[in-house]
Chains A and B, each alone.
Chain A
Amino acid sequence: MVTNKTLKIVDRFLLPVVIPAVLLMLWEFLALKGVLRSTILPAPSIIGATLYDMVVTGELWGHLRTSLWRVIQGFTLGSSFGLIAGLLISMSLRLERSLLLVTGILRPIPIIAWVPVLILWMGIDEASKVTVISIGTFWPVLLNVIQGIRSTDRKHLEVARILGKSRSTILFHVVLPSALPSIFTGLRVGIGIAWMSVIGAELIAASQGLGFLIAYARELSQADVMLVGVACIGVTGLLIDILLRCIEKRLLRWNVNLSGNV
């Protein structure tokens, strides 16, 4: 019992912490010995000091806030459009057919390819960035909404018919709840892409935001600042994903398939 329990603790908590800590120490050691050049890969302690500085001065938070705000706007816009378009398309086969070619061409375009085009159309300020993010969010949400709605159990629909339910009741009580797990998958993929798109857009053209921070630090050859930016992107992405999983778990308590893998 005891060994089993301790093993579990080692497995669940220690392992994910210990391994990175060991790697970090190795890195520090190599940097100290001069094996790693500080202009390319500064020691963790230097990066840590820079991080501390940037947090204290509020510089990091300023960039992070700008990027997050863009993501929130773009994600809200893109996922709303994805949701609405998904609903409309999955209700009409004719609509789906007429959009087949258009979506087929638009969907494989990498989000970054839109950045210069959108800057040309909308200028270099917020609008173009928010639009890029919403395009990135739109596709996974759209596809998952359609797939979720299409896979509604026919037997449940039959029950609703037997009970004489209206179209809107069927939509809100049967179709949408059953599509919700799939919609959530779309949202999670969507926010991941949104987060990547904002950085991409900021790398290309911006005067604030984490992407800009990295691009600017590169021009000044500040490897430590760049790495703080990169780490901050990773950590924030992770936190967003955890947040969404928590919401999903709350909302989809009924979904037995979910309980295992969170």
Chain B
Amino acid sequence: MTTTLDHVLRVQNVTKRFELDSGSVVALDNISLDVQPGEFVSIVGASGCGKSTLLRLIMGLESCTAGNIELGEINISKPSVDRGMVFQESRLLPWKTVTENIAFGIPKSHHKKEHNAIVQQHVELVGLQGFEQALPHQLSGGMQQRVSIARALVGRPDVLLLDEPFGALDALTRIQMQQEVLRIWQRERKTMILVTHDIDEAIYLGDRVIVMSERPGTIRNVIQITLARPRDRSSSEFMSYRREIFQEFFGEQKKTFVFEI
């Protein structure tokens, strides 16, 4: 396990085209991206620019039309437990309790004896003590998403992919969850890639913010965030990062509009 920690995630000249009856859609066009072990990368971009597609390719749920993706020496072609993923919907199994759902994330190779201890550890990691035996429909949206994160982490993946994990939560819960993810990331030192619509969220969490452009999806800009954590959302540096990213989206002419958002 320790050796894999040094593994860099390499996305090399990846193009993804979907063939439809009505023709083909180029979702991603020649994307290249290196993510260092333990790095937190945020990806923002307009709806439909291929963010989910990129994560699904890294996960191995889809295959690249051109180019390739490597984690360490290994070429990614199918899902594997060295990568975990969290979606916008928690996707918990409704017939399993919190602990059973988390335990579902443990790979088969683990010893049965250790299961309970590992699961309990992750229940605590996401702060769900007291809800171990609850069923998903008895939890709030935020709590469900915590379970989903715990399930993705319990298999000890090197890379955690988060596809708009807080998109369906209210603003306050979202901020709380961002702090939670930050804490988990600082503790576990996993590589994390977060797709989000929320520019504040991207800046608050990311070492880098990747801005994507749409149709076809390409990387428009990469912004290094050098603020120390935890970051103050109302600081002037934070604001200036925010302004910079807004400008990437709307261009210079809409600067005045940006301040109001």
Contacts and interface: CB of A to CB of B under 8 A. Distances in A.
Bind each other: yes
Contact of A164 (B95, B96, B107): B107
A254 B135 contact: yes
Secondary structure of the A contact surface, majority rule: helix
Q: Which one of B87, B89, B94, B155 has the greatest number of beta carbons of chain A within 10 Å?
A: B94
B121 to A, nearest CB: 18
Nearest to B101: A159
Interface in A154-192: 155-156, 158-159, 161-166, 169, 173-174, 177-178, 180
A94 B1 CA distance: 43
Given A253-B135, A256-B137, A162 B84 contact: yes
Contact of A177 (B61, B81, B95): B95
A157 to B, nearest CB: 10
B81 A163 contact: yes
B111 interface: no
A221 interface: no
A163 B104 contact: yes
Nearest to A178: B95
A93 B155 CA distance: 34
Contacts of B104: 163, 165, 173
B59 interface: yes
Interface residues of A, number: 21
A166 B104 CA distance: 12
B260 to A, nearest CB: 37
B93 A174 contact: yes
A159 B90 CA distance: 10
A162 to B, nearest CB: 5
Interface in A211-262: 252-256
B79 A177 contact: no
A162 B61 contact: yes
A252 B87 CA distance: 26
Nearest to B105: A163
Secondary structure of the B contact surface, majority rule: loop
A180 B155 CA distance: 28
Interface residues of B, number: 24
Contacts of A164: 79-81, 107-108, 155
A216 to B, nearest CB: 48
A156 B84 contact: no
A155 B89 contact: yes
B85 interface: yes
Nearest to B97: A254
A75 to B, nearest CB: 25
Contacts of A255: 94-95
Contacts of B79: 161-164
A152 to B, nearest CB: 11
A3 B85 CA distance: 54
A101 to B, nearest CB: 30
Nearest to A164: B81
Contact of A156 (B80, B91, B108): B91
B93 to A, nearest CB: 6
B124 to A, nearest CB: 21
A166 B108 contact: yes
Nearest to A253: B135
Interface of B: 59, 61, 79-81, 83-85, 87, 89, 91, 93-96, 104-105, 107-108, 135-137, 151, 155
11 contacts: A155-B89, A158-B61, A158-B91, A161-B61, A162-B85, A163-B151, A164-B107, A165-B104, A174-B93, A254-B136, A254-B137
The 4 closest A-B pairs by CB, nearest first: A254-B95, A177-B95, A164-B81, A162-B79
Interface of A: 155-156, 158-159, 161-166, 169, 173-174, 177-178, 180, 252-256
Given A155-B89, A174-B93, A254-B96, 7 more contacts: A158-B61, A159-B91, A162-B61, A163-B151, A180-B95, A254-B137, A255-B94
